[in-house]
């Protein structure tokens, strides 16, 4: 049987790293169990490789590497001991595919995100001299998944139809850690000791697998000094290293960068850029050597130190050659024009110390000979001193701009504001030169001027590198990250297009499974097709159009742990964490409002406010719908910013916001699990719920490009309008609106219609009288002042000021556009108010009888 033809591509698609095994009849030690070739533990599969192996290894078994899929190998011949350990693993770690090679031995397959070296119990000898052990195969090891067992001459097989062919490594396998592996080994040691067996070999506890150095070389690599400068400076340095065509140089640079850099992605990028200078550069060879790694030991240790030393020697030699050229040139100058040309060139040459002083002296003597003028010290500095401004802007300075609005510098990479004093202190060492020391602020403003902007603003739609951008090139703009507003002010755009993850071009089988898991997640959360489409359209629009915010919020209600916050995690992965802001209710309703600035999406983790919910919803209004608003940062000046973010909100409460049919700013949906009693019905047992969400998070963590592609290809409903109002035909909206109705508005409207409440007239409401009326109304309480004001304004009244009537002073609210209610200056017409209320109370008295004796006599 050709195992590779039958199973190879499926195993690779399910996320396993596979290697060919020597056939059982091969003339090799360990045949039937041993992998073919050198460095097999470093294997990285691709589809073409699997297909080649299927053609070549027609009689060979398939091994699975255990770096990320460790296996518990119960290498025990005692059936009771095997049964005990199998039950213990099942109960304490979880169910796992079980492979049988030679009974009664068993092997259980797991996964890990933190690789570790092998862990092994002690080797125990029973009363019959048989030896037993439990080993957790891990980094640097493998096991035979499919093939012929060399001792039984029969196929390895898997129990209960659970195997690597139908269990994706990253989703279906239970996770195991180094600590868990040690616990498994310890349990077998305990069991064996209890049986009275004798330990003949001590256990191996394993360790976390880090780096590419061999285990025996840890002492040699532990003391290596890592690169502490910027990677831009390192790139400039390495690019000066010669002869990338030379194989020895090639290996030296790759090995030095790999062992000396903390950021391996940056190290690889620099190595590739340097190596590509060679005419014989081979990308495949580069990838192979980088992934394979390099052996570093005490006798053969390559670090950046030797690279830097050689580059400095090259620079020194070049400087000496330049120095000779300038000395000879100045000595041979015969006229002022020639001397000025060499002086201008010399000012830009980074030659320092005694070498520069010697050249300056030669140049001054030439000047005296030509002009008959002896140069002063100031002349020499001005005409022959090094011009620091002539150098390319230093890497450390390129990330800064100056904010006129706040009189400070802005770090473009972090968005931090840095005072001029702090800048001088932090970068003083960067401005110490051979000839002089310059204050960093002076250097950044006069010597190598940095861009000056009004301030920084997060504005995706005005970045030149974005699709659907509003940005246009204009004179004075230094690049796509700057823009000029309508008033002519220049701004730094703090949004970075590279912070948004890219989608996948194609989906692997593994990617497709991740997408199916997320699809199922949405179905479980929102079983109603219409409401699920509302949610999907809302989320997909933001992902497809990050420059165009939605004019209404998505509010998701559900039980704690029901999965609603996972949607926030998913959106963070799709948009990039830098473009999603998490806001607490306390901050959102606090004094400072700079939380509202920036981001493509804002996530409010609990929108419910135990205080005045009506004021809270009023404060949120401008941040949801307004195109611009003013924000007040702590410690900085208020400023007007563009509203760039859509708002996603979560709540556990049915009455989180006081909604009614006029509130069109919230799309309210509910998860299927609305309360803790629903959790078991929806997700099953605690273990089943844990497995469900573990798979969801694995899909999000490991398959962002695939999920991004799925969202980008989502077909948004034709009736979706990102500038329109939120749909109100959801069950959750109706429930929240009903729960939010405290009866106040209905009670007031009823009083106005019936006209039988003293002090409450269709054109004017005297608040003290309204308060008395609420004292006599059952089940409805007088609302707080802010709630009352909002409610009365919503039904057509506006504040009219304070009035004394009936022996009391209190506020009045007047219906808008009532003739005679206000005088020419816009103030309340007191005479009109008194007359209207007096007449109304008299009519009420006729209808219902005497009104509160002695209290409502007219007092004009």
Among 249-263, 277-291, 726-740, 842-856, name the one with the lowest average pLDDT. 842-856
Q: How far does Cα 150 stand from its chain's mean position? A: 50
Per-residue model confidence (pLDDT) at position 210:
47
Alpha-carbon distance 460 to 836, whole Å? 56
Q: What is the mean pLDDT of residues 235-247?
A: 87
Report the C-alpha gap between 399 and 184 in whole angstroms: 52
The pLDDT of residue 830 is above 70: yes
Of 58-72, 476-490, 580-594, the range with the highest mean pLDDT is 58-72
Residue 855 has pLDDT above 70, yes or no: no
- 354 φ, ψ (degrees, to nearest 5): -60, -30
Find the range with the poorest average confidence among 114-118, 289-293, 720-724.
Answer: 289-293
pLDDT for 211 equals 42
Q: Looking at residue 389, what is its pLDDT?
A: 62
Measured distance CA(458)–CA(639) in Å, rounded: 13
- Tell me which of 154-158, 246-250, 545-549, 856-860 is least confident: 856-860
pLDDT of residue 159 exceeding 90, the answer is yes
Q: What is the pLDDT of residue 504?
A: 94
Token digits of residue 420: 């001029």
Alpha helices in 134-246 (DSSP H): 178-194, 218-222, 231-238
Higher pLDDT among residues 614 and 444, named by residue: 444
Alpha-carbon distance values, 535 to 2, 480, 724 (Å): 48, 33, 15
How many angstroms separate the CA atoms of 43 and 650, rounded? 45
Task: Read off the pLDDT band of 232 (50, 70, 90).
Answer: confident
Closest CA to 63 of 131, 128, 7: 7
The percent of residues above 90 in pLDDT, for the chain, comes to 53
Q: For residues 614 and 793, what is the distance between their CA atoms, to the nearest angstrom? A: 13
**CA nearest neighbour of 415 among 427, 400, 398:** 400
Say how far apart CA 776 and CA 87 lie, in whole Å: 70
Among residues 332, 329, 343, the alpha carbon closest in space to that of 369 is found at 332
pLDDT at site 295: 53
Sign of the alpha-carbon dihedral angle for 76, 78, 83, 85: negative
**Confidence at 852, pLDDT banded by 50, 70, 90:** low
Distance CA 394, CA 291 (A): 33
pLDDT at 794 over 90: no
* pLDDT attached to residue 328: 94
pLDDT attached to residue 215: 32
**109, 97 Cβ separation under 8 angstroms:** yes
CA distance 196 to 190: 10
291 pLDDT band, cuts 50/70/90, is confident
Return the bridge partners of 651, or none.
557
| Residue 581 and residue 598 in contact, taking contact as beta carbons nearer than 8 Å | yes
pLDDT digits (tens, 9 = 90+) for 498-528: 999 999 999 888 889 999 999 999 999 999 9
**pLDDT of 4 higher than 90:** yes
Write down the pLDDT at residue 33. 94
The average pLDDT across 683-705 equals 90
518 closest CA partner among 667, 652, 702, 685 = 702
For residue 801, pLDDT beyond 70: yes
Residues forming beta bridges with residue 613, ordered by sequence position = none
CATH of domain 509-733: 3.40.50.300
Q: Is the pLDDT of residue 212 over 60?
A: no
Q: How many CA atoms, within 13 angstroms, populate the side-chain half-sphere of residue 688?
A: 7
pLDDT class of 302 with cuts at 50, 70, 90: low
User: Which band of pLDDT confidence, cut at 50, 70 and 90, is reported for residue 446?
Assistant: confident
DSSP string, 129-179: S-EEEEEEE-TT-EEEEESB-TTT-SB-EEGGG-STTSS-TTTTSPB--HH
Residue labelled with tokens 């079983």: 527
The pTM (predicted TM-score) of the whole model is: 0.63
Query: Which segment of 33-42, 150-159, 641-650, 739-748 scores lowest on mean pLDDT?
Result: 739-748
pLDDT above 60 (res 683): yes
Indicate left, alpha or beta for 508 from its phi (over 0: left) and psi (-120 to 50: alpha).
beta
What digits encode the pLDDT tens for the residues 81-99? 999 999 999 999 999 999 9
Instruction: Tell whether the model's pLDDT for residue 386 goes beyond 80.
Output: no
By CB neighbour count within 10 A (0-12 exposed, 13-18 middle, 19+ buried), where does 629 fall?
A: middle
Measured distance CA(816)–CA(797) in Å, rounded: 6
* Token pair 């420059």: residue: 547
Cβ atoms of residues 432 and 616 within 8 Å:
no
Residue whose token pair is 């001590």: 202
How far, rounded to the nearest angstrom, does the alpha carbon of residue 73 sit from its chain's CA centroid?
Answer: 38
614 closest CA partner among 553, 655, 557, 654 = 655
| pLDDT given at position 72 | 98
Domain ranges of the chain: 3-201, 215-302, 310-386, 404-450, 454-498, 509-733, 742-848
pLDDT of res. 390: 58
390, 397, 385, 392: which is closest to 436 by C-alpha?
385
- Report the distance separating Cα 355 and Cα 322, nearest Å: 10
Assign 364 a pLDDT band (cuts: 50, 70, 90): very high
C-beta of residue 621 within 8 angstroms of C-beta of residue 552:
no
> pLDDT at position 792, please?
86
* Percent of the chain predicted with pLDDT > 70: 92
pLDDT band at 691 (very low <50, low <70, confident <90, very high): confident
In DSSP terms, which residues pair with 746 in a beta bridge? Answer: none
Q: Does the structure show a pLDDT above 70 at 858? A: no
Indicate the pairing of strand 452-453 with strand 400-403. Answer: parallel
Q: What is the pLDDT of residue 497?
A: 93
> Which residue, 434, 695, 675, 439, is CA-closest to 558?
675
Tell me: pLDDT of 531 over 90: yes
- Quick: pLDDT tens for 472-489: 888 878 889 999 988 899
Cα atoms found within 13 Å of the Cα of residue 58, Cβ hemisphere only: 2
Closest of 294, 312, 292 to residue 303, by C-alpha: 294
Q: Find the range with the poorest average confidence among 125-134, 376-385, 456-465, 754-763.
A: 376-385
Closest CA to 393 of 443, 343, 452: 443
Average pLDDT over residues 735-752: 80
Residue 300 has pLDDT above 60, yes or no: no
Distance of CA 90 to the CA centre of its chain: 36
Mean pLDDT computed over 44-55:
92
Where are the alpha helices (H) located in 427-508, listed in sequence order? Answer: 440-442
User: Mean pLDDT of all residues in the chain?
Assistant: 87
pLDDT at residue 216 greater than cutoff 60: no
- What per-residue confidence (pLDDT) applies to 742? 65
Packing angle, helices 509-525 and 704-712, rounded to 10:
60
Sign of CA dihedral 839, 841, 846, 852: negative
- In the predicted structure, residue 214 carries a pLDDT above the cut 80: no
For residues 509 and 567, which has the higher predicted lDDT (pLDDT)?
A: 567
């Amino acid at each position: 049987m050709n195992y590779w033809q039958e199973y190879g591509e499926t195993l690779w698609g399910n996320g396993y790293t596979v290697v060919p095994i020597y056939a059982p009849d091969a003339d090799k030690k360990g045949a039937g169990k041993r992998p073919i070739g050198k460095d097999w533990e470093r294997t990285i599969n691709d589809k073409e490789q699997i297909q080649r192996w299927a053609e070549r290894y027609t009689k060979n078994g398939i091994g699975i590497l255990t770096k990320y899929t460790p296996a518990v190998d119960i290498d025990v011949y005692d059936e009771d001991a095997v049964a005990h350990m199998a039950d213990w693993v099942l109960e304490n770690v979880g169910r796992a595919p079980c492979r049988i090679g030679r009974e009664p031995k068993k092997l259980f397959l797991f996964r890990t995100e933190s690789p570790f070296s092998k862990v092994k119990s002690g080797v125990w000898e029973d009363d019959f001299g048989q030896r037993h052990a439990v080993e957790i195969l891990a980094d640097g090891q493998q096991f035979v998944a499919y093939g012929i067992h060399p001792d039984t001459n029969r196929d390895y097989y898997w129990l209960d139809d659970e195997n690597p062919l139908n269990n994706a490594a990253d989703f279906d396998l239970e996770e195991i850690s180094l600590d868990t592996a040690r616990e498994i080994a310890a349990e077998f040691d305990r069991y064996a000791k209890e049986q009275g067996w004798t330990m003949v070999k001590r256990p191996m506890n394993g360790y976390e697998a880090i780096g590419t150095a061999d285990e025996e070389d840890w002492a040699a690599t532990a003391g290596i000094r890592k690169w502490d400068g910027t990677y831009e400076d390192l790139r400039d340095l390495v690019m000066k290293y010669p002869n990338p065509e030379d194989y020895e140089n090639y290996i030296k640079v790759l090995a030095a960068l790999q062992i000396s850099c903390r950021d391996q992605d940056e190290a690889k990028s620099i190595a590739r850029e340097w190596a590509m200078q060679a005419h014989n550069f081979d990308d495949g060879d580069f990838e192979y050597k980088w992934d394979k790694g390099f052996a570093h030991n005490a006798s053969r240790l390559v670090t950046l130190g030797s690279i830097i030393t050689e580059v400095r020697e090259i620079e020194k030699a070049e400087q000496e050659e330049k120095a000779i050229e300038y000395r000879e040139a100045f000595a041979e100058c015969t006229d002022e024009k020639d001397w000025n040309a060499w002086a201008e060139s010399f000012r830009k040459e980074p030659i320092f110390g005694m070498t520069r002083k010697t050249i300056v002296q030669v140049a001054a003597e030439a000047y005296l000979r030509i002009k008959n003028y002896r140069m002063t010290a100031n002349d020499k500095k001005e005409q022959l001193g090094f011009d620091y401004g002539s150098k390319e802007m230093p890497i450390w300075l390129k990330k800064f701009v100056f904010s006129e609005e706040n009189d400070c510098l802005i770090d473009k990479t972090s968005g931090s504001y840095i005072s001029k004093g702090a800048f001088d202190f932090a970068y003083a060492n960067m401005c110490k030169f051979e000839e002089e020391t310059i204050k960093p602020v002076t250097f950044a403003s006069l010597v190598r001027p940095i861009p000056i902007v009004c301030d920084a603003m997060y504005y995706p739609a005005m970045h030149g590198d974005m699709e659907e951008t509003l940005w246009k090139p204009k004179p004075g703009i230094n690049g796509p990250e700057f823009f000029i507003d309508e008033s002519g002010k220049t701004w730094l755009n703090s949004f970075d297009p590279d912070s948004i993850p890219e989608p996948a071009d194609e989906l692997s089988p593994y990617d497709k499974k991740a997408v199916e898991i997320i699809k199922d997640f949405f179905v479980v959360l929102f079983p109603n097709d219409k409401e699920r489409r509302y949610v999907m359209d809302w989320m997909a629009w933001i992902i497809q159009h990050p420059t165009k915010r939605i004019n209404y919020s998505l509010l998701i209600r559900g039980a704690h742990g029901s999965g609603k916050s996972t949607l926030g995690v998913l959106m963070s992965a799709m948009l990039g964490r830098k473009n999603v802001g998490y806001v607490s209710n306390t901050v959102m309703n606090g004094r400072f409002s700079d939380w509202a600035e920036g981001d493509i999406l804002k996530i409010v983790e609990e929108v419910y406010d135990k205080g005045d919910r009506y004021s809270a919803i009023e404060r949120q209004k401008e941040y949801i719908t307004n195109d611009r608003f003013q924000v007040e940062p702590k410690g900085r000046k208020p400023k007007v910013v563009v509203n760039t973010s859509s708002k996603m909100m979560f709540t556990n409460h049915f009455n989180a916001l006081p909604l009614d049919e006029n509130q069109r700013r919230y799309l309210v949906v509910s998860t299927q699990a609305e309360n803790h009693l629903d959790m078991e019905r929806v997700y099953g047992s605690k273990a089943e719920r844990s497995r469900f969400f573990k798979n969801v998070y694995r899909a999000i963590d490991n398959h962002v490009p695939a999920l991004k592609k799925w969202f980008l290809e989502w077909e948004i409903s034709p009736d979706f309008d990102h500038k329109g109002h939120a749909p109100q035909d959801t069950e959750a909206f109706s429930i929240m609106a009903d729960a939010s109705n405290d009866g106040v508005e209905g009670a007031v409207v009823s009083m106005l219609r019936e006209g039988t409440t003293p002090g409450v007239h269709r054109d004017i409401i005297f608040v003290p009288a309204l308060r008395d009326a609420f004292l006599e109304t059952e089940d409805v309480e007088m609302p707080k002042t802010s709630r009352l004001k909002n409610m009365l304004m919503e039904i057509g009244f506006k504040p009219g000021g304070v009035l004394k009537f009936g022996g009391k002073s209190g506020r009045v609210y007047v219906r808008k556009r009532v003739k005679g209610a206000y005088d020419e200056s816009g103030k309340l017409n007191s005479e009109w108010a008194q007359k209207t209320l007096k007449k109304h109370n008299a009519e009420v008295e006729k209808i219902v009888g005497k009104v509160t004796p002695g209290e409502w006599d007219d007092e004009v």
